Structure 1
Amino acid sequence: MHISHSSEDDNLKRLLSFSNADLQEKCGKFDIDENERAKELVFERTRYAYNDALEYFNDNFLSQINSLGLSISLKEGEPDAAV
């Protein structure tokens, strides 16, 4: 999304927020500043939402969504994860 003006900022922030919430619901809680895979998926989902193609996102990124969810689940199961 090559947007060079600020008139879309509020809409993009809203779409990013929705994408973050949707992926955390599917995959588990993550810190977007620390998890590059999660950040990339949030951006990709937002791109699909912005272009009115959200119905294709889950199918096109299913393996990455599953991988992120699995890595988050495994990390939560680690003994030091609660520390």
Structure 2
Amino acid sequence: MNRCEQASVCAELLGAAINRARHLDRCRLDTKTMKRMVSYSARHAVDKQAKGFGDSREPSAGYIAWLLWGGDEGCDWAKREICVFLE
């Protein structure tokens, strides 16, 4: 994959993450969405080891997407809510 293709893929992924962030901000979250948040955080936890993750000056695409999905706080909240729902 060349740089142009990589940039296009990154833009699409960030676009999807931005849409998810808007949804999280505007809508009352159902259990399905909370499960998706937990699933996302489990799949992408490894991204925390990537260059630029946590760097506010030059953030990686993965870091930006992580924040748009709610970051650590949002994912922890979703896990707690699902536990309450399952009780």
TM-score class, shorter: 0.3 to 0.5
Name the structure with the higher helix share: 2
